[in-house]
Amino acid sequence: MNKVYIKHSVVPKLRRFTPWVYANEIDSNKEEFQSGEVVALFSKKDGFLGTAYVNPKCAIFARVLSFGKEEIGKKFFHNRIKNAIKKREALLNVSNSVRLIHSEADFLPGLIVDKYGENLAIQINTAGMEVYRELIISTLKQFLNPTWMVEKSDLHSREIEGLEDKNGTLFGEPCVQFELKENGLRFLVDIEDAQKTGFYLDQRKNRSICAQYIKENDKVLDLCCNAGGFGIYALHAGAKECVFVDASDSAIEQTKANLEHNELVSESLHVNDVFTFLKEQKYKNSFDMVIIDPPSFAKTKEQAVGAKRGFKHLLMESTKAVKDGGLIGFFSCSHHVGRKELLDIAMEVSHDVKVQYVLLEQMQQDSDHPCLINASASFYLNGLLLRVEK
């Protein structure tokens, strides 16, 4: 196994189990290594630090597979996958659909596996994981015996890694409308064609938290609703009315199907850009709860400034739309706009619109998408539940 020497200043970071080494943090010539090659990380002074795979095309040059001297093969993947599955057992009482493998947080960087009942959706996001594709698929088959396994490896990160997208059935019979059960509600999921691996599993706990605040006859606005998750929870909890908005046709179609599937009703579903919609509607003191759950406006650090402007605008308009004493669920799914940035934006809007916000809940992604304390990028989903005092 080839050795990669890292700069002395980076040693403490690895000793704290941070799993990434950037290209500018190494003392070796990165061009000497192959994409996906497994290497031993060394410091000239401190010796062996870990086993990683590398990609000379990427800003993140090395992703740590193990801080020990493990052989990266059948036994390694067998143990890692078995442990990840075991950690999700309790959550399967809440839903039949959970994330089984969450990349670095399950010590398998670049690999995502979501379980939808007897079906599995997988994403391989790096050249390093791509090397082990067959081993990963056969191990998942051995442990879970899925009826259908579908690949949805189409994230932008694959292009950066020098990989082409890979989508479609790996084996088994495709399940077109899977019935996802979550906290007593049922959602139809078109696993292959829907966004993400099919459903926003990471918002499961937050849908439930927000629904706990719903009162009989409340009026709710679900902005960027996707398949209707937050609004459907709210209607089920007693809300009288929910307005759903999403830019995607198929997301609104799925919301309609999900309302019907849960015997709930809404007459107000809109395929529209959220900014245009709020401008056209000019709502004032109309809702008891507004959910703002936009896509990741900031995929890179450079995009964060523009993204914050977008978040600020959405919070301002939602604040006008909500009643005095009403609630706003304010979410960001990009770590570049994290909890601190959401709080800063709320402070600015509080000043500009002259309202007070009382923070009721701080939310994050559900526990099947865990965060690694020493990898700040893994804290990617943040939410505030704010009460608006006008």
Residue 242 CA to residue 185 CA, distance in Å, equals 16
Question: What does the DSSP 8-state code read for residue 371?
Answer: P
For ligand SAM, the closer of residues 130 and 293 by Cβ is 293
State which of residues 116, 200, 311, 357 lies at the interface with ligand SAM (CB under 6 A).
Answer: 200
State which of residues 230, 244, 311, 330 lies at the interface with ligand SAM (CB under 6 A).
Answer: 230
| Nearest one of 69, 46, 64, 42 to 54, comparing CA atoms | 64
Quickly list H helices, the chain: 11-15, 74-87, 127-130, 133-144, 156-160, 204-211, 229-236, 249-261, 274-281, 304-321, 339-353
Residue 196: exposure state from Cβ atoms within 10 A (0-12, 13-18, ≥19): middle
Residue 192 CA to residue 122 CA, distance in Å, equals 11
Closest separation in Å from C-beta 384 to ligand SAM: 15
Residue nearest to ligand SAM (CB): 229
Q: Which stretch binds ligand SAM (CB under 6 A): 108-116, 211-219, 293-301, 349-357?
A: 293-301
Residue 199 CA to residue 189 CA, distance in Å, equals 7
Side-chain half-sphere exposure of 275, counting CA atoms within 13 A: 7
Cβ(373)–Cβ(355) under 8 Å? no
For ligand SAM, the closer of residues 76 and 200 by Cβ is 200
What type of residue is 379?
Answer: F
Strand-pair partners of 292: 223, 330
Q: Which stretch binds ligand SAM (CB under 6 A): 1-9, 43-51, 95-103, 222-230?
A: 222-230
Q: Cα-flanking dihedrals φ and ψ of residue 345, to 5°?
A: -60, -45
For ligand SAM, the closer of residues 39 and 225 by Cβ is 225
Query: Should residue 281 be labelled a site residue for ligand SAM when binding is judged by CB under 6 A?
Result: no
- 52-111 positions binding ligand SAM, by CB under 6 A: none
Q: Which stretch binds ligand SAM (CB under 6 A): 53-61, 104-112, 199-207, 311-319?
A: 199-207
State which of residues 14, 251, 345, 349 lies at the interface with ligand SAM (CB under 6 A).
Answer: 251
Strands 20-22 and 60-66, sheet pairing: antiparallel
- Dig out the tokens for 135 from the structure: 């081993």
State which of residues 36, 117, 128, 294 lies at the interface with ligand SAM (CB under 6 A).
Answer: 294
- 322-361 positions binding ligand SAM, by CB under 6 A: 333
For ligand SAM, the closer of residues 131 and 333 by Cβ is 333
Helix (H, G, I), strand (E, B) or coil at 17: coil
Closest separation in Å from C-beta 279 to ligand SAM: 12
Strand-pair partners of 42: 5, 48
Closest separation in Å from C-beta 121 to ligand SAM: 15
Size of the site for ligand SAM (CB under 6 A): 20
For ligand SAM, the closer of residues 9 and 300 by Cβ is 300
Closest separation in Å from C-beta 241 to ligand SAM: 18
- 136-195 positions binding ligand SAM, by CB under 6 A: 195
Query: Should residue 295 be labelled a site residue for ligand SAM when binding is judged by CB under 6 A?
Result: yes
Query: Should residue 224 be labelled a site residue for ligand SAM when binding is judged by CB under 6 A?
Result: yes
Residue 5 CA to residue 244 CA, distance in Å, equals 53
State which of residues 227, 252, 269, 372 lies at the interface with ligand SAM (CB under 6 A).
Answer: 227
Under the rule (CB under 6 A), what is the footprint of ligand SAM? 195, 200, 203, 207, 224-227, 229-230, 246-248, 251, 273-274, 293-295, 333
